[in-house]
Structure 1
Amino acid sequence: MMWREKEQVLMFTFTFVIYAVCTIILFNIMYRTQPTPYMDEIFHIPQTQSYCKGNFTKWDPKITTPPGLYLSTVGVLVPLAQWLGWEVCEVYFLRLTNVFFVFGNFYLLYCLLLNLHPQISESKLLLSCLNLSIFPLTYFFVFLYYTDVGNLFFFLLMYTFHLQGQDLVAALFGVMAVFFRQTSIIWVFFVSMAAESSVYITMKRTKLEKKSSSLQFLKKFISTTAALPVHHKKQFVNVLIDILDTCGGYLLTAVGFIVFLYRNKGFALGDKDAHVLCFNVSQVCYFLGFVLVFCSPFLLSPGKVKKFISFCIKEWVLTAAVTAVMILVLEYLVQIHPYLLADNRHLTFYVWQRFLGRNSLLSCAFIPVYIFSGWTVLQTLQHKDSVWQLLYILCLVLSVVPQKLLEFRYFIIPYVLFRLNIQVNSYIQLFLEFSIYVFVNAFTLVLFLNKPFYWEGQSEIQRIMW
């Protein structure tokens, strides 16, 4: 057993060292090509540099997210600068913050996979960890000073401590995740409800079983919970005490966020006119398409396609109803943000122009793909219980539907959470996933580095990115 533990440490160290070396090499290539602030960095970097100088009252009104990235960076770099006598609040060192975050993500992903899939072999575990660590949507932003990598780091920390039963510590890291991106509050809610927390406490006290289907369980849970304060007051009090004991930290986080919304008079900190919440159901369709592309080795197979066709034939009324709803959504309820139409520096601009927004017929042609993706996602999560599945769907909807802008970075946490909970069956799936991620990373990095262009009438160089 001791030998096996040493073997695990050696395999992990070897994989991590290779990953770290490749990441640092790419980081330096990216910096040499684009040494000046680019895109949203023109807001993030000056803001952090103000904090480095001790000016915590200055705030750029164009910044929409809380100052978690800037505070965590300054908390590390300022003491380091004083110790070394260096000027470390420059572009290179600020971007380097995300390299350390992604190294932390590598370890946290390993711990989470080990916790969620204790029977998985060490080689499959490490390959899964490596794949998730190079997931294109986060890996690209390792090389720029953006909030996404740090936000994922604190979400993973929250999820890790939660699964270990340390909910108070988990809630503190949840607060940090919210300080990076406001939408993280939804995933704080998910964690507080989905695994041995408030829902499960209520079930345990009321002896409610999870064996029924998701919808049947939801109906029983709502009716049982509603009856508690009326017919079972003592039991209701005991449930509340247990919930406060386990989930107090999450509840305080929620209260703090509500206070923030009231004081801020909205969700976004700055540039509020361009970041208004809306009802954009089409985002769920786009997320399903996104998942099918990046998770295709686990979701696509001849057997699953055959089962899906059989399901559609058997449940033709449900299939027709879902298809009709999606047609209505994609035809009449799509919200189009001006940035999506105007900014050709983002890949989503080209995806929209050439596929999703080209015409109604082409847009609706993707509906069978969305339906298949939704069906196979639910099939893949069948090993999770009804509570987990329902809460995941709810939180996914809450996180993407209010977003007017089609931005793939909004899909990072729900995708990573889904991928973490997939049961891996073969090395072929993992190698195919690795190949897809490497290809997409190579494509986006080469595009950014080697295909610069200029806007008419402007001298600044432009580059295409996520």
Structure 2
Amino acid sequence: MERFEGYIFTALCSTNFLISCLIFSKVTREQREPYMDEVFHVPQAQKYCHGRFNEWDPMITTLPGLYLASVGVIKPVVALADLRGKVVCSTAMLRFVNLLFNCGILYLLYLITCKLHLREKTKTASRRILASLSLSTFPLLYFFNFLYYTDAGSTFFILFTYFMTLYGCHKSSALLGVCAVLFRQTNIVWVAFCAGTLLAGKLDEAWKTDQTKKKDDRPSQVPLSPGGARRVLHFLWEFATSPARVRAVLTEAWPYAAVAAGFLAFVAVNGGVVVGDRSSHRACLNFPQLFYFFSFALFFSLPTSLCVHRLRRFLQAVKRHPLFYLSVTGLCLLLVWKFTHVHKYLLADNRHFTFYVWRKVIQRHELVRFLLAPAYVFAAWNFLDSLRSRSLFWSLAFLACLLAATVPQKLLEFRYFIVPYLLYRLHMPLPSLPRLVLEFLLYSAVNAATLFVFVNQTFRWPDSTATQRFMW
């Protein structure tokens, strides 16, 4: 049975790669020259391809992981091409590297899905395969497979890092985490998440042991109540002050600590997280980014997370605890009022879909951003409820990293939501086959629409003759 599943998955990978190559060919024919951020990435990669590693474009804000990986893939081809007098390190060849990353992402998604849903291994081969395929076509990620951006490589190395963490290979995981940070500095948050899952596992084991010793009737449950919160805080204090337990954690987690120390040293030497142009990438407390992410996650997980039963449970929860949900909504309104930041790029660049989302929805009227607060509350509740099968300690680690990854970002950029969304979907209970089919159809429809618009719906600015295209 496992061999048959392997054959099906291999055939699926080949078919996916073929279709992606056909789309890649169409996109590259229509947009041969570097577009948007590619005007920085492509020339920089070409410098690396020709051995000029000491040259750097000061407008680039990320580390050179993408260019180093591209050189590692293309260099043998470049050597052969130089013998023939041809230049291979072209825009199309550089973009093609991301298609290779996409193949790796599909395989990693499948392996992680198998690991996370091990108990259902004998029953759900088709569901595991379809879930992996569906997530590999996640619209934000899939679109940037056809342009020379950092997203495909960044996502590949974060998934690879997490995969190694799941299998207890923490030294390899930390090393891969360094590769992920070289693609995008903020990936240090997801390296911390890998360490957090290790710590959460240790906390879960210690909690069960302690509650068993106390003859608790439900030793595996962490109670969600004021009294339960006091018990958890007391437990965390005992854990943190137990030399044996701390030593057990550090024995396994030290590779992640070494990566964190190296990153802090880089920040100290560099004078900040961003390299290159820092004026447009300054951190701030933009709490509504978290609400935008919850809304984003709700939309793209509609086929797999939302159902009548869940809606009914939400309404029942509101009815049982009206003061709590009123307080949460009030807090949401306060955060929207005091901490909404609007980046100048969001308002100035009409090539991005976020420009129209902001202008047509958020900016339609000054009250709209406040009227959306109940929707944010439901989206957050749906997000947390979808992960209720996970332990409290794991959920706290994930939410802490989600806050660190989203809130400091001033610019509303959907690409920043790719990794947290994929981790969220991977950790939901494995959906039924019909729901996975609906999810795949939704993603395919969005991909078809965005790629069609990018290729066909071009326009020009009044003061420029260059062709402009709409994109994520």
The 1-side partners of 2:230 and 2:99 are apart by 46
Which range is displaced more, 431-440 or 201-210?
Answer: 201-210
The residue number in structure 2 matching 1:386 is 392
Aligned residue-pair number: 456
Quote the residue 1:98 is aligned against: 98
Tell me, yes or no, if structure 1 residue 57 matches structure 2 residue 54.
Answer: yes
Identity among equivalent positions (%) equals 38
Give the secondary-structure state (helix, strand or coil) at the position aligned to 1:461: coil
The 2-side partners of 1:314 and 1:143 are apart by 49
The separation in 2 between residues aligned to 1:133 and 1:322, in whole angstroms, is 34
Which letter maps to 2:336? L
In 2, the alpha carbon distance for the partners of 1:214 and 1:264 equals: 43
| Range with bigger deviation, 375-384 or 22-31 | 375-384
Gap regions ≥5 residues in structure 1? none
1:219 offset after TM fit, Å?
Answer: 5.0
Q: CA deviation at 1:221?
A: 5.2
**Equivalent AA in structure 1 for residue 397 of structure 2:** L
- Structure 2 CA distance, aligned partners of 1:205 and 1:307? 32
TM-score if structure 2 supplies the norm length?
0.93
CA–CA distance in 1 between the matches of 2:342 and 2:267? 25
Pick the aligned partner of 1:11 from 8, 19, 23: 8
Output the CA distance in 2 between the equivalents of 1:202 and 1:422. Answer: 21
Match of 1:212 in 2: 222
In 2, distance between residues paired with 1:446 and 1:208? 57
The equivalent position to 1:171 in structure 2, one of 166, 174, 181, is 174
Maintained 8 Å contact 2:65/2:182 = yes
* Letter in structure 2 aligned against 1:94: L
Preserved contact between residue 239 and residue 245 of structure 2 (Cα < 8 Å): no
Q: Deviation per CA, 1:54-99, whole angstroms, max 9, x where unpaired?
A: 1111111111111110111111211232145453211111000100
1:411-453 CA deviation, whole Å, 9 max, x = no partner? Answer: 1111000001111342221111111101111111111111111
Change (3 A) 1:199 1:431: closer
One-letter code aligned to 1:192: A
Aligned amino acid, residue 106 of structure 1: L
- Contact 1:281 / 1:334 at 8 angstroms: preserved in 2? yes
Q: CA deviation at 1:199?
A: 4.3
The answer to whether the aligner puts 1:75 opposite 2:72 as a matched pair is yes
* Structure 2 match to 1:131: 134
Match of 1:117 in 2: 117
Give the letter aligned to residue 108 of structure 1. L
Once residues 444 and 62 of structure 1 are traced to their aligned partners in structure 2, the CA distance between those partners, rounded to angstroms, is 27
Deviates more, 1:250-259 or 1:84-93: 84-93
The equivalent of 1:182 in structure 2 is 185
Q: Which 5+ residue runs of structure 2 have no aligned equivalent?
A: 212-219
Q: Per-residue deviation at 1:228? A: 6.4
Matches of 1:55 and 1:266, distance apart in 2 = 25
Q: Is the 8 A contact 1:331 1:360 kept in 2?
A: no
What's the counterpart of residue 40 of structure 1? 37
1:461 Cα deviation from its structure 2 partner: 1.1
1:425/1:240 CA distance change after superposition, 3 Å: closer
| Mapped contact 1:106–1:133 kept (Cα < 8 A) | yes
* Separation in structure 1 between the aligned mates of residue 63 and residue 57 of structure 2, nearest angstrom: 11
2:290 to 251, 276, 284: 284
Shift of 1:13: 1.7
**Residue of 347, 358, 361 corresponding to 2:353:** 347
Tell me which residue corresponds to 1:372: 378
Structure 1 counterpart of 2:25: 28
Which whole-Å CA distance do the structure 2 matches of 1:218 and 1:249 have between them? 31
Q: Distance in 2 between matches of 1:269 and 1:422?
A: 36
In 1, Cα distance between the equivalents of 2:338 and 2:206? Answer: 45
Aligned-CA RMSD value:
1.8
Are 1:277 and 1:402, in contact at CA under 8 Å, matched by a contact in 2?
A: yes
TM-superposed CA distance for 1:365, in Å, is: 2.7
**Change over 3 Å in CA distance of 1:203–1:362 after alignment to 2:** closer
Greater Cα offset, 20-29 or 293-302 = 293-302
Give the match for residue 306 of structure 1: 312
1:361 Cα deviation from its structure 2 partner: 2.4
